[in-house]
Amino acid sequence: MERLYITTPIYYPNAPPHIGHAYTTVYADVLARYNRLVGRKVFFLTGNDEHGLKIQRAAEKEGITPKEFVDKMAGVYRQYWVMLNISYDHFIRTTDSYHEKVVSEAFKRLHEKGLIYKAKYAGWYCVDCERYYSPGEYVLVDDKPHCPIHNKPLEWLEEETYYFKLSEFKDYVTKTLSETDIVYPPSYAKEVLNRVQAEGLRDVSVARPKDRVAWGIPVPFDPDYTIYVWFDALLNYVSGIGYLTDDARFQEYWPNVHHVIGKDILWFHTVVWFSLLKALDISPPRRLIVHSFLINRGLKIGKSAGNVIPIEFLVERYNGSDGARYVLMKLFNLDKDVEVTIDLMDSIYNSELADTYGNLVRRVGVLAAKKVKGKVYRRDVDKKIEESIETALGKYVEDMESLEVSKALSEVQELGKALNTYINEVKPWEKSDPSKELYSLLEGIRAVTVMLSPVTPRASTVISESFGFKLVSPRDFKVGSVERYNIVEAPILFRKVQARRESQS
Ligand code: ME8
């Protein structure tokens, strides 16, 4: 059986996750569920990035220890992922002892290989990003260097530290970015390549003095230093699948790892990550899927900009996890930033889930109960409907295999519309025995329900159980293969949301 390993970034738990984190995590979950549906063996990893100054300071603010803080926040993140019905196989925490051992061992190995050395460093540092910014990278506000992402003043830091010889990997990184299809969409690989060509690669600091950053994994041979949070964090992708602890599992899954990330952490996941892996004699990831930002009034949604949309708002407004997941996936865009407004999300939910899909399921269910006591036996499927189903399935599989979830949803939507047109044309409610029309409609609903199941797993399960069919792989779907539908209920799944009186964004 084909193996697939899917990861999300591990998030900084200094605050609860918001719509931006949900965007990445739901997308990764949809890939995981789709791939399981088509028969691949999937391991899906998410988790929290628990070390570093940002977390240390968040804990101080609350007057608790960093460990107490991250323990509490791990619970909070898990609850949000339950709320969104995320089917991860493992939740990794960088304070897990198996992970800490891997990080410590990797650091030691690279030091022994001469790829990590000690020297002095001075530069402008952003605590929120946990990284230094060089001139040209930061922005000047009132002549003072500011973080280009967080718009906050940078801190000047001078310290003796450990460096990783990133500069030695310039050719390797360049070759990997230009000769493979790892980075998707490929425009992001070009972006990094241009920067590498223009600036070259400088060695990077991979430790912090302990008196400044105490919360982290100690440098194994020098306890006065703490390992840099990004060195620690990136290694979650290998420790989480058994690197140095369960070699068989690591060998089984690593060759087909798909990392999903936002474009803010592209540099770390290409230049730094590819180099670290090479330094440890590990192959680069199979795929790095990069998406753009959800923005609001032109700014990236995030805590710093103060324009966060809470996950619970989405789940409440759109009738639970399915509605929230659908809206996020319909907005999903790898290339372009997406301006999110509640009006836009409302209209996606109302027109696509409530009207086109939910309403159709309800109408067909009620008609079948009324006209044929809920039993619909196999008939010839209307030719036009059969074609619409087959076209939608074909395009859907192609889009999902090429990681284009929102495009795939548009194909499903086309089929939903065709089914709505058909029901209005053939008017089964006017017929004494509309079994033929109902069977065609049910086959269409079955196809839509299968295709939506990675995005709306709860609704798909409810519909398949209420109508008496199985959720098969969309690759094995055969139109006209169901002997008999047995409709026991006509569920109302997606109640429309009322437009708000004032339109806010
Ligand atoms: O960077 N639009 O964690 P983080 C789209 N711990 N995606 C968004 C978003 C938005 N407005 N806001 C956040 C870190 N994201 C590190 C990662 S991995 C080894 C370490 C998503 O909590 C997006 O996936 O800042 C982005 O890459 C991630 O959250 C950053 O999460």
**pLDDT value at residue 35:** 98
Nearest to 50 by CA among 65, 62, 36, 35: 65
- Does 385 or 500 have the greater pLDDT score? 385
Same domain, yes or no, for 103 and 119?
Answer: no
Same domain, yes or no, for 143 and 44?
Answer: no
**pLDDT value at residue 501:** 60
Distance CA 189, CA 454 (A): 28
- Asked, for residue 476, whether it belongs to a domain, the answer is yes
Same domain, yes or no, for 364 and 447?
Answer: yes
Same domain, yes or no, for 474 and 392?
Answer: yes
What mean pLDDT is predicted for residues 21-40?
98
- Asked, for residue 217, whether it belongs to a domain, the answer is no
Q: Is there a contact between 145 and 133 (Cβ–Cβ < 8 Å)?
A: yes
- Asked, for residue 504, whether it belongs to a domain, the answer is no
Q: Is there a contact between 45 and 5 (Cβ–Cβ < 8 Å)?
A: yes
Q: Which residues pair with 163 in a beta bridge?
A: 117, 205
Per-residue pLDDT at 503 exceeds 80? no
Same domain, yes or no, for 368 and 478?
Answer: yes
Q: Is there a contact between 201 and 169 (Cβ–Cβ < 8 Å)?
A: yes
Supply the CATH number for residue 134's domain: 2.170.220.10
Distance CA 459, CA 321 (A): 10
- Does 131 or 23 have the greater pLDDT score? 23
- Asked, for residue 272, whether it belongs to a domain, the answer is yes
Q: How confident is the model at residue 303 (pLDDT cuts 50, 70, 90)?
A: confident
Q: Is 12 in the pocket of ligand 1 (CB under 6 A)?
A: yes
For the segment 251-289, what is each residue's pLDDT rounded down to a tens digit?
Answer: 999 999 999 999 999 999 999 999 999 999 999 999 999
Per-residue pLDDT at 132 exceeds 90? no
The residues near 61 (Cβ < 8 Å, ≥ 6 apart) are: none
Least confident of 7-16, 43-52, 141-150: 141-150
Q: How confident is the model at residue 129 (pLDDT cuts 50, 70, 90)?
A: confident
Sign of CA dihedral 234, 235, 238, 239: negative
Total domains in the fold of the chain: 4
Q: Catalytic residue at 51?
A: no
Same domain, yes or no, for 61 and 137?
Answer: no
Same domain, yes or no, for 332 and 400?
Answer: no
Per-residue pLDDT at 128 exceeds 90? no
Q: Catalytic residue at 129?
A: yes
Same domain, yes or no, for 254 and 366?
Answer: no
Task: Write the ipTM.
Answer: 0.99
Same domain, yes or no, for 453 and 435?
Answer: yes
- Asked, for residue 244, whether it belongs to a domain, the answer is yes
Give the single-character DSSP code of 216. Answer: S
Pairing of strands 116-126, 131-133: antiparallel
**Residue nearest atom 26 of ligand 1, based on CA coordinates:** 262
Q: Is 337 in the pocket of ligand 1 (CB under 6 A)?
A: no
Q: Catalytic residue at 303?
A: yes
Same domain, yes or no, for 103 and 244?
Answer: yes
Which residue out of 54, 99, 147, 330 is catalytically annotated? 147
CA 491 to centroid of ligand 1, rounded, Å:
37
- To the nearest whole number, what is the mean pLDDT of the chain? 96
Share of the chain above pLDDT 90, in %: 92
**pLDDT value at residue 134:** 85
Per-residue pLDDT at 69 exceeds 50? yes
Same domain, yes or no, for 9 and 102?
Answer: yes
What mean pLDDT is predicted for residues 410-439?
98
CA 403 to centroid of ligand 1, rounded, Å:
19
Tokens encoding 122: 């001075």
Q: For ligand 1, what atom is nearest to the CA of residue 234?
A: 19
- Asked, for residue 378, whether it belongs to a domain, the answer is yes
**Residue nearest atom 9 of ligand 1, based on CA coordinates:** 20
What mean pLDDT is predicted for residues 236-240?
98
In angstroms, how far is the first alpha carbon of the chain from the final one?
Answer: 46
What mean pLDDT is predicted for residues 379-398?
98
What mean pLDDT is predicted for residues 70-86?
98
Supply the CATH number for residue 466's domain: 1.10.730.10
Structural domain that includes position 103: 3-107+231-291
- Asked, for residue 248, whether it belongs to a domain, the answer is yes
Per-residue pLDDT at 505 exceeds 80? no
Least confident of 122-131, 306-315, 388-397: 122-131
Q: Catalytic residue at 259?
A: no
**pLDDT value at residue 502:** 53
Q: How confident is the model at residue 135 (pLDDT cuts 50, 70, 90)?
A: confident
Share of the chain above pLDDT 70, in %: 99
For the segment 115-124, what is each residue's pLDDT rounded down to a tens digit?
Answer: 999 998 889 9
Q: How confident is the model at residue 149 (pLDDT cuts 50, 70, 90)?
A: confident
Distance CA 406, CA 328 (A): 9
**At which of 155, 177, 209 does a domain end?**
209
Same domain, yes or no, for 343 and 371?
Answer: no
Q: Catalytic residue at 258?
A: no
- Asked, for residue 501, whether it belongs to a domain, the answer is no
Q: Is 301 in the pocket of ligand 1 (CB under 6 A)?
A: yes
Q: Is 20 in the pocket of ligand 1 (CB under 6 A)?
A: yes
**pLDDT value at residue 500:** 67
